[in-house]
Structure 1
Amino acid sequence: MGWNIVIADDEEPAREELIYLLESHAEVDKVTAASGGMDAIKKVKELAPDVLFLDMDMPDLNGLQVAEIVGEINPQVKIVFSTAYDQYAVHAFKLRAFHYMLKPYDEEDIVMVFRELRKIQPRSGAAPASGSHIPSVKTSVKLALELDEGIIYVSPKDIIYISKEVKHVQVHLYDKAYIVSYTLSELEHKLEPYGFFRCHKSYLVNLASISEMKTWVNGAYNLLMEDAGRCTIPVSRNYVKMLRLKLEI
């Protein structure tokens, strides 16, 4: 059975955009729209959704107020806050927010939400867990990189980060980089069990190769990597919380 989702937003264009993005995912069974805070509470009572996409700025009740009430009605509902502003982020996570998205919506943000949902409980139509076919002795497994001169095999621990630059995907080691035929999504699928994290639509990083996370602008961060050039990698705002959870003890 797929995910049962309610979205609450008083702006019809934003609702329609989010409905479109959500219904494009095979693991979604049902999407129900609410036009405001009170309507969202009513639909949570009636439908007991798995996930509530909740806009912060609504005229009757704001997202934080709705979240408090929903937490009492059905604490199992995963709440994904959405807003055009990021000043609510701290309050949102205090109210056990499952995720936080900034408008305008981005397909990558939706992908990130479903990736985390699948870790909790896979649903019908969802892709198999990325580590389901990985051999138990992971240290002996290497990534095959097909180059013009042949194939080289690289251990995941030797990869610092992976980038998508224009049309090319590059695998970066300590002091060299290789252009590969893989897509970034394919490499994300292959390498997630080995401690890699998609921190930006154009970057996949080895968590073990991050030395520092520096504040940047508008709630975003930059990562300082442990390659020869001490490369700086951007972190999208919506990925910061999950990255910190994975990095910190």
Structure 2
Amino acid sequence: MGWNIVIADDEAPAREELVYLLEQFHDVDKVTHATCGMDAIKKVKEQTPDVLFLDMEMPDLNGLQIAEIVGEIQPQVKIVFSTAYDQYAVHAFKLRAFHYMLKPYDEEDLAIVFRELRKSQLETASVIPVNATTAGATSVKLALELEEGIKYVFPKDIVYISKEGKYVQVHIRDQAYDVTYTLSELEQKLEPFGFFRCHKSYLVNLGSIAELKSWVNGAYNLLMDDALRSSIPVSRNYVKMLRLKLEI
């Protein structure tokens, strides 16, 4: 099978130029167009492509924002950033970009991308799969230092985390624990396990959200799936990103 590719660029001439160059490669099987950030996310969900050629500058979401969302919903997609400017390169590779191309497109640059893609494909095929349980992935726990000792909890059992004044609390389904971590430290530790910062004082488990309710002035509240049906505020700036992470 050949490569399944999505091109996300709001400029038609740039898309057409890239399509023409991609057609020169015999192992390109399918090319789908996206004209804005939201359309790119939609196409990635629908097409589950191997590669996303992603323009940095689009009218709704920029390339870095799209890459972050795609990394959550389809982490296997290889992202090749494309832009007329090179100042984004450092940020792009922090988001684990597969490659970075400058416009106008160059056939040799694209050939380098495909050489790297084929090399990556061969390396992946040669790796022996490791059972997740064997690797310890399912046994990892967060250590909560309490007065009486250390309590270990699975990330999936944490409903949300709150900052109450100077104190941070980890909320399990029917109990809360004061911890010595900062909210930022927990955000970094738990981000790979599906946690989202919805407010300056709250970090929520996306898997424990039951409802999103509209509030006042464009704000929302989350109803959590715990014993208390806790209500968590969502800052207006986070609503759009939260919905993209939650919904299929």
CA deviation map 1:197-217 (0-9, x unaligned)? 111111000001000000011
Paired residue for 2:56? 77
Cα shift readout 1:154-175 (whole Å, capped 9, x = no counterpart): 0001100000111101000011
Structure 1 residues 7-43: Cα deviation after superposition (integer angstroms, max 9, x where no partner)? xxxxxxxxxxxxxxxxxxxxxxxxxxxxxxxxxxxxx
Q: Which runs of 5+ in 1 are unaligned?
A: 1-66, 68-74, 80-94, 100-111
Q: Matched residues in 2 for 1:150 and 1:115: separation?
A: 41
Shift of 1:218: 1.7
Distance across 2 between alignment mates of 1:126 and 1:98: 11
Q: Which 10-residue stretch deviates more, 141-150 or 117-126?
A: 117-126
Indicate conservation of the 8 Å contact 2:202/2:232, yes or no.
Answer: yes
**What pairs with 1:159-178 in structure 2 (closer than 5 Å)?**
159-178=158-177
Q: Contact conserved, 1:118 with 1:126, CA < 8 A, in 2? A: no
Letter in 2 for 1:238: N
The count of corresponding residues between Structure 1 and Structure 2 is 146
1:207-222 → structure 2 map (5 Å cutoff)? 207-222=206-221
- Per the TM alignment, residue 237 of structure 1 is displaced from its structure 2 partner at its CA by 0.8
- Specify which of 46, 53, 60 is matched with residue 96 of structure 1: 60
List gaps (5 residues or longer) in structure 2.
1-35, 37-53, 72-78, 82-87, 97-132
Contact 1:214-1:221 at 8 Å conserved across structures: yes
CA contact (8 A) 2:68 2:95 kept: no
Gap change, CA 1:113 and 1:248, over 3 Å in 2? closer
Q: Secondary structure at the match of 2:237?
A: helix
| Partners of 1:146 and 1:214 in 2: CA distance | 34
- Mapped contact 1:175–1:227 kept (Cα < 8 A): yes
SS in 2 for 1:234: strand
Q: Could you tell me how far apart the structure 2 residues matched to 1:158 and 1:127 are?
A: 33
CA distance in 1, matches of 2:156, 2:217: 32
Separation in structure 2 between the aligned mates of residue 144 and residue 242 of structure 1, nearest angstrom: 29
Tell me which of the two structures has the higher relative contact order, counting C-alpha pairs closer than 8 angstroms and 6 or more residues apart.
1
Seen in structure 2, the aligned counterparts of structure 1 residues 232 and 169 have a Cα distance that, compared at 3 Å, is same
| 1:241 CA drift (Å) | 1.0
1:7-18 to 2 correspondence within 5 Å? Answer: none
Measured at CA, do residues 183 and 203 of structure 1 come closer, stay the same or move farther in structure 2, by a change above 3 Å?
same
CA distance in 2, matches of 1:244, 1:117: 11
Deviation at 1:125, TM superposition (A): 8.0
Shift of 1:115: 9.7
- Mapped partners of 2:191, 2:91: distance in 1: 20
Rg bigger for which structure? 2
Q: 8 Å contact 2:218–2:236 — kept in the other structure?
A: yes
Q: Structure 1 length as normaliser, TM-score?
A: 0.51
Q: Identity rate of aligned residues, in percent?
A: 64
Alignment partner of 1:185 is 2:184: yes
Runs of 4+ in 1 over 6 A off after TM superposition: 112-115, 125-130
Contact persistence 2:56–2:62 (CA under 8 A): no
Q: Which residue of 1 aligns with 2:139?
A: 140
Counterpart of 1:78, as a letter, is: E
Structure 1 distance, partners of 2:194, 2:188, is: 11
TM-score by length of 2: 0.51
Provide the rounded CA distance (Å) in 2 between the counterparts of 1:229 and 1:238.
26
For residues 127 and 227 of structure 1, do their structure 2 counterparts lie closer, same or farther at Cα, with a shift above 3 Å needed? farther
Give the Cα–Cα distance (whole angstroms) in 1 for the partners of residues 235 and 156 of structure 2.
24
